C-alpha cells in the first residue's frame, strides 16, 4: 500500500527510515517516529475496531492516551502479544503486527454488528431487567452467553518473555509533562539549584507548541515553536536536570510518592529488544512536584458522532503538522471555540479543503479572521444533526441552532466530507492532582474543573491549571514556579508573548437535534457505547449521583477511563437535574493514569525471585542425597529421603524404624533461636511462658508453652539456661519471626523496666538432632571429651563442647521420645557437623530423616505441633497440658483469658488419641469426627489433626481434638468419609513408651 495521505514535509519523522508493519494481515509502511495511528492514517486506514456493546465501526479519534476507539492487539498470537494497545501511542517498529479487536470474522464485516440493530431493546442496564425467567435458562444459557461476550482484546496465553525493572528515585523537584509549561518549569527549577527530574510520555518533548507554526503565536518575537525548540536544546545541557522521555506518570500517592513507567522497548523491533528490559517502574519520592500535564480536547455530543473519520480537531492538527498526515481530503471542522481554527488554517495551508461549522454566533479572534481571509466557509450558529457513512464518514447534515441553543431551526444542509474534526473546548488533566488528594473547583466561564486545594507540596502549571492561552500559560507558569521554588529571578522574567485571545465562549453539553433524543445516537463513551440517552434513562430511573450514573451506564469505565466522556456525562446530568455543575462533584480519578502492565508493577520479583528461599547450611547435603523438600514458611526443609524406587510412605516407614531401632539424624536448623540475656531474663520467661523458670538450674533445659493474650496456644519450644542471666530459646520454624516481634513488643512497651536483651540467632547456628538408642555412642565418637552418662549429662541438660576447636552447644532434649541430642554449631560449620555425625554414625546405620518422620515419631509420643494440632482456638488445658500451666505464678501472657466462661467450659474440644478399629486403616488428617451419623444436622465433635501408620507400633495412630474428649476415652466414634465411615476408639494420646523409658535408654 502506498502512503497516499502523507504530505511531503515533516521535520519530526526520520524519512530515511522507512518501516513496514502488518495490520490485520496486510503490510503497510510508515516512518520511524510514527505511531501506529499516524502510519495507518497515512495509508488512508480509519476503521480500527468495533465498539464493546453495539459493535459499531470505530476509527482513530485522538492522538494520545485519551483514545477510546483505536485500540488494537499487538504482537499476534505469540508470547509478545498485548491486548488493548492504543494505536495512538504505539510507535511502529519493523515487523510490528497489529490487529483489530472485538470483531469476528473481521473488522470490515463483524457478526456482532447485529447488536446495533437490537440496540433499541438493550439500553443502559437492560441486563438488570431481564434474563430472569425462566430461572433455569439463566444458568444454562443467559449467564454463559453474557460471559462469552466479555472483553475487547485477548489475554496472552504464554508467559511473558520480557524483563521488567524497578528503580527508586529521589529528587527535589519532579516536573510531570514536557510541554511548554513543563519545559519552562523544569528550566526554572534546575536553574534554581534543585535536583530536577522532567518526565514526559512522548518520544519527543514540546507538547503541542512544538508544531505551532503560526505567526499569531510569538514568544520573544519568535514563532512559538522556534522559541520552544531552542529552550529544549537549552535544557538538555542543564546539569542538575534529568529528562526521562517515553515515561508516563502512572500514580500520584500521598506524601509525594509517585510511580512512573519508563518505556524502554515497545518502540523497538523484537530483534532489538531481545534480552533487554521492556519497561522500568520508577518509584519516585519528590520533595516538590510540578504537574504540567496539559489538557485534552473535548468532543461534541451529537447524533452519530462516533463514525470512523470523526476526530478531535487538535489531533487532526497534530497529524498534519507533526506527522505530515492528512486525515481526509475534504474536512469539516465542527467547533465551539477558536482553537479548532488553528487546525483549519493548518489544513488550508496544506491545500486541504476545509469547511467550518461553529455553534457560536461569531468570534472576534484573529484566527477566525485568518480563516475567513483564506476563504474558508464558516457556518455560524450551526450544529451537526447527523452523519452518514458506515465504515467511514461520508457526509454530515447541519442545521441552524435556535437562539438559546436548545433547538434547531430551518432546513438541513448536507456537507460531503471524509473527515469531521470536532472540538468542544478543553479539559484540564487534573487526574494526577486529585489522585494526590487535591480537591477541585469549577470554573463556570469555560466549564472546567481546576485544581483548588492541594494536600501535597505541589503546584499545577499550564493548561492543566486552566490556562489555555499561550501568554497566560507562560506568564503564570513563571510566576507560580518562582513562588513555589522561592526563586527571585529567572531567565524568563522579561519574556514577551503575543497570541490570539478567545472572547466568545459557548458550551452545549448535548447538542440539539431535529429528531427526538430517542431516535438519535449521541455517544458519550465511544468505547462502551453509552449515549446521552443512557444518561437520561439512568436519571429517570432515580440514579442521580455521578457514580451511580457512571456505574449504571458504564460511562467512563472503558480503557480510557472516561478521559473524553466524563465531563459530558456530568454536564448532561447537571442540565437534566437542573443543578449547578460544580455542585455535583466528579467521579473519582483512580490510579493508574494510563493502564500499567502487571509485569511492570511486579518488576523482577517473578519466578525464582517471587519469594526468598531460606536454606539450612546442610541443604546441599540433603540435595545430594536426593531429599524431597517441604516448604515451611520460607524455609526449605528436608521432607524425606527416598532411596531408589522408594515411595514416600516406604521412606518414612524406614526412617521411623531406623530412628527408634538405632539412630536417626534430623536437620533442625530452621527452628527459631532467640538469645536472651539480662539480669531479668528469668523473670521475663516467667511472664511469657505458662510455666515457671526461676528455679531452672544453669545448664538445664525446659519445655515452654507460650500463649496469646487471649489464652490460646501460640508457640512452644525448649529453652536452655546457658548461664545465670543467659538463655537460649527455641521456637517453632514458622513462628520464629512472630515470637521475636511479640517478645520485643512486651519488653519495650509493657515491661521496659526489665533488664533483658533479645537477639535472633536462628541463622547463626546450625542444628543437627541425633536420636535413637545409639545416639550416645555416636556423640561419644565425635565429642570424646564429654561424658555421656546420665549423671553427667542427663536428659534436659546442656553442655558446651568443641568440635575440631569449634564451639558447639549440645542439648540433650528429645522430640521423638528417644535418647537424643541436639548439637548447635556456628552456621558455616553446619555441613561439616552433619557429615561428622554421618561418618560417626555409619557403623550404627545412622539414618537421615525428614520432617515427615519427625512428625510421625513425635505423634507416637503424643507431642503436639503448634499449628497442626492447634489452630489458634486451643488452650493448654484443651491440650491436656495442665501440668505446664503454673498455678502459682501471679500472671503470664494469656493467663487471665483462661478464666473466662467459655475457656473454662469442661466440654471444650480436647486433644485425644484415636485408634482405628482396623489397625491398618490410616485416617485422613482433617477428617471430621462424629458420634452419630444419622442424626441431622450431624454434630461434628472435632477433627483429626495428625495421623500416621506407626511402624514401631505396627498400627494406625491419630491425634485429634474432640469435644469433651477427655471424658470420651475408650468410646467408639465415627469418622465419616465421602465414600465410607471409619470406626475409631478414643484413646490416650501417648501411644508409645508412655513411661518415657527410652529417653534414658
Partner 1 sequence: MKNNYSIFSLIKNSLTYHENWQQAWRDPEPKKEYDAVIIGGGGHGLATAFYLAKKHNMKNIAVVEKGWIGGGNTGRNTTIIRSNYLWDASAGLYDHALKLWENLSQEINYNVMFSQRGVMNLAHNLQDVRDLKRRTHANRLNGIDAVWLSTEEVKNFCPIINTSPDIRYPVLGGTLQRRAGTARHDAVAWGYARGADSMGVDIIQNCEVKAIKRSGDAVEGLETTKGFIKTKKIGVVAAGHSSVIANMAGIRLPLESKPLQALVSEPVKPIINTVVMSNAVHAYVSQSDKGELVIGAGTDAYVSYTQRGSHDVVEGTLKAILELYPIFSRMKMLRQWGGIVDICPDASPIVSKTSIKGLYFNCGWGTGGFKATPGSGDLFAHTIANDEPHVLNAAFNINRFVSGDLVDEHGAAAVAH
Partner 2 sequence: MFIITCPFCGERDQSEFAAGGEAHIVRPKQPTELSDDEWADFLFMRKNIKGVQFERWNHAHGCRKWFNVIRDTSNDKIHAVYKMGEKPPIK
Q: d(Cα 507, Cα 948) in Å, to the nearest integer? A: 79
Q: d(Cα 410, Cα 398) in Å, to the nearest integer? A: 10
Residue 543 contacts which entry, partner 1, partner 2, none (Cβ below 5-8 A, type-dependent): partner 1
In angstroms, give the least distance from the CB of 899 to partner 1: 9
Select from 780, 771, 829 the least CA-distant residue to 805.
829
Which residues in 690-700 are b (16+ Cβ under 10 Å) and which e?
A: bbbbeebeebe
Residue 33 contacts which entry, partner 1, partner 2, none (Cβ below 5-8 A, type-dependent): none
User: Which residues are 316's β-sheet partners?
Assistant: none
Cβ proximity to partner 1: between 29 and 131 the closer is 131
Cβ 384 vs Cβ 512: under 8 Å: no
Q: d(Cα 29, Cα 685) in Å, to the nearest integer? A: 77
Residue 789 contacts which entry, partner 1, partner 2, none (Cβ below 5-8 A, type-dependent): none
Which residues in 292-311 are b (16+ Cβ under 10 Å) and which e?
A: bbbbbbbbbbbbbbbbbbbb
Query: Parallel, antiparallel, or unpaired: how do β-strands 57-59 and 71-74 relate?
Result: unpaired
Q: Is 890 one of the binding residues for partner 2 (CB under 8 A)?
A: yes
Q: Is 750 one of the binding residues for partner 2 (CB under 8 A)?
A: yes
Q: Is 453 one of the binding residues for partner 2 (CB under 8 A)?
A: no
Residue 890 contacts which entry, partner 1, partner 2, none (Cβ below 5-8 A, type-dependent): partner 2
Residue 834 contacts which entry, partner 2, partner 1, none (Cβ below 5-8 A, type-dependent): none
Q: Is 452 one of the binding residues for partner 2 (CB under 8 A)?
A: no
Cβ proximity to partner 1: between 139 and 890 the closer is 139
Q: d(Cα 474, Cα 461) in Å, to the nearest integer? A: 9
Select from 93, 698, 552, 37 the least CA-distant residue to 323.
37
Cβ proximity to partner 1: between 447 and 561 the closer is 561
Q: Is 439 one of the binding residues for partner 2 (CB under 8 A)?
A: no
Stretch that binds partner 2, among 200-208, 377-385, 744-752, 835-843 (CB under 8 A): 744-752
Q: Is 752 one of the binding residues for partner 2 (CB under 8 A)?
A: yes
Q: Is 896 one of the binding residues for partner 2 (CB under 8 A)?
A: yes
In angstroms, give the least distance from the CB of 670 to partner 2: 21
Among residue numbers 709 through 738, which ones bind partner 2 (CB under 8 A)?
709-710
In angstroms, give the least distance from the CB of 906 to partner 1: 14
Select from 909, 940, 914 the least CA-distant residue to 925.
914
Q: Is 887 one of the binding residues for partner 2 (CB under 8 A)?
A: no
Q: d(Cα 586, Cα 438) in Å, to the nearest integer? A: 13
Residue from 580, 626, 900, 905 binding partner 2 (CB under 8 A)? 900
In angstroms, give the least distance from the CB of 752 to partner 2: 6
Q: d(Cα 816, Cα 275) in Å, to the nearest integer? A: 52
Residue from 17, 234, 489, 748 binding partner 2 (CB under 8 A)? 748
Q: Is 741 one of the binding residues for partner 2 (CB under 8 A)?
A: yes
Cβ proximity to partner 1: between 159 and 375 the closer is 159
Residue 541 contacts which entry, partner 2, partner 1, none (Cβ below 5-8 A, type-dependent): partner 1
Cβ proximity to partner 1: between 217 and 635 the closer is 635
Report residue 518 as a C-alpha cell.
Answer: 430517542
Among residue numbers 901 through 940, which ones bind partner 2 (CB under 8 A)?
901
Residue 891 contacts which entry, partner 1, partner 2, none (Cβ below 5-8 A, type-dependent): partner 2
Strand order in the sheet with 806-812: 797-803, 806-812, 820-826, 765-771, 664-667, 847-848
> Quick one: DSSP state of residue 138?
I
In angstroms, give the least distance from the CB of 65 to partner 1: 12
Report residue 463 as a C-alpha cell.
Answer: 493548561
Among residue numbers 531 through 550, which ones bind partner 2 (CB under 8 A)?
none
Among residue numbers 255 through 284, which ones bind partner 2 (CB under 8 A)?
255, 257
Residue 499 contacts which entry, partner 1, partner 2, none (Cβ below 5-8 A, type-dependent): none
Residue 896 contacts which entry, partner 2, partner 1, none (Cβ below 5-8 A, type-dependent): partner 2
Q: d(Cα 840, Cα 290) in Å, to the nearest integer? A: 71
Cβ proximity to partner 2: between 400 and 710 the closer is 710
Which residues in 431-453 are b (16+ Cβ under 10 Å) and which e?
A: bbbbbbebebebeeebbbbbbee
Cβ 548 vs Cβ 281: under 8 Å: no
Cβ proximity to partner 2: between 70 and 432 the closer is 432
Residue 592 contacts which entry, partner 1, partner 2, none (Cβ below 5-8 A, type-dependent): partner 1
In angstroms, give the least distance from the CB of 748 to partner 2: 5
Select from 85, 239, 262 the least CA-distant residue to 169.
262
Long-range pairs, 802-807, Cβ under 8 A, ≥24: 803/829, 803/833, 803/836, 804/832
Residue from 444, 745, 835, 907 binding partner 2 (CB under 8 A)? 745
Cβ proximity to partner 1: between 372 and 519 the closer is 519
Q: For helices 470-484 and 180-191, give the axis angle rounded to 10 degrees.
A: 30
Binding mask 216-255 for partner 2 (x = CB under 8 A): -------------------------------------xxx
Residue 906 contacts which entry, partner 1, partner 2, none (Cβ below 5-8 A, type-dependent): none
Q: For residue 746, how many other CB atoms are within 10 A of its CB?
A: 17
Cβ 180 vs Cβ 206: under 8 Å: yes
Q: What residues line the site for partner 2 (CB under 8 A)?
A: 253-255, 257, 285, 437, 455, 709-710, 741, 744-745, 748-750, 752, 890-891, 895-897, 899-901
Amino acid at each position: 500500500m502506498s502512503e497516499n495521505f502523507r504530505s511531503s514535509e515533516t521535520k519530526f519523522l526520520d524519512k530515511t527510515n522507512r518501516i513496514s508493519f502488518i495490520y490485520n494481515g496486510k503490510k503497510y509502511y510508515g516512518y520511524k517516529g510514527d505511531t501506529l495511528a499516524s502510519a495507518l492514517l497515512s495509508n488512508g486506514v480509519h476503521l480500527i475496531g468495533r465498539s464493546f456493546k453495539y459493535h459499531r465501526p470505530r476509527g482513530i479519534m485522538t492522538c494520545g492516551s485519551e483514545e477510546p476507539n483505536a485500540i488494537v492487539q499487538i504482537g499476534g498470537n505469540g508470547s509478545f502479544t498485548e491486548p488493548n494497545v492504543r494505536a495512538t501511542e504505539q510507535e511502529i517498529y519493523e515487523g510490528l503486527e497489529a490487529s483489530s479487536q472485538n470483531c469476528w470474522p473481521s473488522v470490515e464485516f463483524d457478526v456482532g454488528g447485529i447488536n446495533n440493530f437490537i440496540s433499541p431493546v438493550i439500553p443502559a442496564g437492560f441486563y438488570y431487567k431481564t434474563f430472569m425467567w425462566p430461572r433455569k435458562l439463566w444458568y444454562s444459557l443467559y449467564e454463559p452467553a453474557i460471559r462469552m461476550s466479555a472483553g475487547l482484546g485477548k489475554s496472552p496465553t504464554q508467559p511473558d518473555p520480557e524483563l521488567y525493572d524497578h528503580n527508586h528515585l529521589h529528587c527535589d523537584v519532579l516536573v510531570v509533562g514536557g510541554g511548554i509549561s513543563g519545559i519552562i518549569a523544569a528550566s526554572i527549577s534546575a536553574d534554581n539549584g534543585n535536583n530536577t527530574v522532567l518526565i514526559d510520555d512522548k518520544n519527543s518533548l514540546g507538547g503541542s507548541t512544538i508544531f505551532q507554526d503560526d505567526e499569531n503565536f510569538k514568544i520573544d518575537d519568535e514563532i512559538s515553536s522556534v522559541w520552544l525548540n531552542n529552550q529544549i536544546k537549552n535544557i538538555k545541557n542543564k546539569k542538575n536536570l534529568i529528562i526521562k522521555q517515553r515515561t508516563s506518570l502512572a500514580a500520584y500517592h500521598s506524601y509525594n510518592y509517585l510511580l512512573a513507567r519508563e518505556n524502554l522497548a515497545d518502540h523497538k523491533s523484537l530483534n532489538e529488544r531481545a534480552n533487554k528490559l521492556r519497561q522500568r517502574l520508577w518509584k519516585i519520592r519528590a520533595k516538590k512536584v510540578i504537574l504540567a500535564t496539559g489538557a485534552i480536547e473535548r468532543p461534541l455530543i451529537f447524533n452519530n458522532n462516533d463514525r470512523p473519520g470523526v476526530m478531535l480537531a487538535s489531533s487532526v492538527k497534530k497529524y498534519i503538522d507533526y506527522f505530515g498526515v492528512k486525515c481526509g481530503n475534504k474536512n469539516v471542522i465542527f467547533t465551539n471555540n477558536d482553537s479548532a481554527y488553528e487546525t483549519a488554517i493548518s489544513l488550508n495551508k496544506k491545500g486541504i479543503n476545509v469547511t467550518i461549522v461553529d455553534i457560536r454566533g461569531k468570534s472576534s479572534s484573529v484566527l477566525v479572521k485568518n480563516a475567513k481571509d483564506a476563504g474558508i466557509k464558516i457556518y455560524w450558529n450551526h450544529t451537526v444533526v447527523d452523519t452518514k457513512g458506515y465504515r467511514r464518514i461520508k457526509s454530515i447534515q447541519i442545521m441552524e441552532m435556535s437562539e438559546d441553543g436548545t433547538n434547531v431551526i430551518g432546513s438541513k444542509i448536507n456537507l460531503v466530507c471524509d473527515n469531521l474534526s470536532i472540538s468542544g473546548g478543553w479539559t484540564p488533566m487534573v487526574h494526577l492532582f486529585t489522585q494526590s488528594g487535591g480537591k477541585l473547583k469549577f470554573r463556570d466561564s469555560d466549564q472546567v474543573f481546576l485544581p483548588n486545594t492541594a494536600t501535597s507540596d505541589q503546584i499545577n502549571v499550564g493548561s492543566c491549571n486552566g490556562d489555555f492561552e499561550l501568554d497566560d500559560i507562560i506568564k503564570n507558569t513563571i510566576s507560580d514556579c518562582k513562588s513555589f521554588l522561592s526563586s527571585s529571578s529567572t531567565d524568563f522574567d522579561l519574556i514577551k508573548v503575543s497570541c490570539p485571545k478567545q472572547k466568545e465562549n459557548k458550551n452545549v453539553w448535548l447538542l440539539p437535534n431535529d429528531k427526538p433524543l430517542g431516535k438519535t445516537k449521541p455517544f458519550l463513551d465511544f468505547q462502551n457505547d453509552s449515549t446521552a440517552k443512557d444518561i437520561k434513562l439512568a436519571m429517570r430511573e432515580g440514579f442521580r449521583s455521578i457514580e451511580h450514573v457512571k456505574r449504571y451506564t458504564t460511562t467512563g469505565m472503558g480503557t480510557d477511563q472516561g478521559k473524553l466522556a466524563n465531563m459530558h456525562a456530568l454536564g448532561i446530568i447537571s442540565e437534566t437535574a437542573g443543578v449547578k455543575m460544580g455542585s455535583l462533584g466528579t467521579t473519582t480519578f483512580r490510579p493508574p493514569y494510563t493502564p500499567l502492565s502487571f509485569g511492570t508493577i511486579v518488576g523482577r520479583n517473578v519466578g525464582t525471585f517471587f519469594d526468598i528461599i531460606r536454606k539450612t547450611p546442610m541443604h546441599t547435603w540433603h540435595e545430594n542425597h536426593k531429599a524431597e523438600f517441604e516448604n515451611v514458611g520460607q524455609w526449605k526443609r528436608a521432607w524425606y529421603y527416598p532411596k531408589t524406587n522408594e515411595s514416600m510412605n516406604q521412606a518414612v516407614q524406614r526412617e521411623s524404624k531406623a530412628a527408634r531401632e538405632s539412630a536417626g539424624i534430623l536437620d533442625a536448623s530452621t527452628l527459631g533461636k532467640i538469645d536472651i540475656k539480662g539480669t531479668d531474663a528469668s523473670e521475663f520467661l516467667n511472664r511469657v511462658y505458662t510455666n515457671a523458670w526461676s528455679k531452672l538450674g544453669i545448664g538445664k533445659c525446659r519445655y515452654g508453652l507460650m500463649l496469646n493474650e487471649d489464652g490460646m496456644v501460640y508457640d512452644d519450644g525448649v529453652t536452655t539456661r546457658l548461664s545465670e542471666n543467659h538463655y537460649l530459646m527455641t521456637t517453632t520454624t514458622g513462628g520464629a519471626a512472630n515470637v521475636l516481634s511479640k517478645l520485643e513488643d512486651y519488653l519495650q512497651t509493657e515491661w521496659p523496666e526489665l533488664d533483658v536483651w533479645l537477639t535472633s540467632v536462628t541463622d547463626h547456628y546450625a542444628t543437627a538432632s541425633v536420636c535413637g538408642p545409639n545416639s550416645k555412642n555416636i556423640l561419644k565418637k565425635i565429642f570424646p571429651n564429654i561424658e555421656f552418662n546420665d549423671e553427667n549429662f542427663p536428659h534436659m541438660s546442656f553442655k558446651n563442647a568443641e568440635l575440631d576447636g569449634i564451639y558447639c552447644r549440645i542439648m540433650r532434649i528429645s522430640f521423638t521420645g528417644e535418647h537424643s541430642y541436639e548439637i548447635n554449631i556456628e552456621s558455616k560449620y553446619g555441613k561439616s557437623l552433619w557429615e561428622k555425625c554421618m561418618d560417626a554414625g555409619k557403623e550404627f546405620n545412622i539414618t537421615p530423616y525428614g520432617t515427615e518422620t519427625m512428625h510421625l515419631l513425635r505423634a507416637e509420643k503424643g507431642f503436639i505441633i503448634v499449628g497442626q494440632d492447634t489452630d489458634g482456638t486451643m488452650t493448654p488445658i484443651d491440650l491436656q497440658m495442665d501440668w505446664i500451666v503454673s498455678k502459682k505464678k501471679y500472671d503470664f501472657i494469656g493467663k487471665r483469658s483462661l478464666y473466662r466462661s467459655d475457656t473454662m467450659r469442661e466440654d471444650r474440644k480436647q486433644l485425644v488419641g484415636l485408634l482405628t478399629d482396623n489397625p491398618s486403616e490410616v485416617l485422613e488428617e482433617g477428617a471430621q469426627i462424629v458420634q452419630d451419623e444419622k442424626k441431622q444436622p450431624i454434630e461434628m465433635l472435632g477433627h483429626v489433626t495428625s495421623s500416621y501408620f506407626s511402624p514401631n507400633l505396627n498400627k494406625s495412630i491419630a491425634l485429634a481434638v474432640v469435644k469433651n474428649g477427655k471424658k470420651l476415652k475408650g468410646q467408639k466414634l465415627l469418622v465419616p468419609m465421602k465414600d465410607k465411615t471409619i470406626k475409631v476408639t478414643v484413646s490416650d494420646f501417648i501411644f508409645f513408651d508412655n513411661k518415657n523409658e527410652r529417653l534414658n535408654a
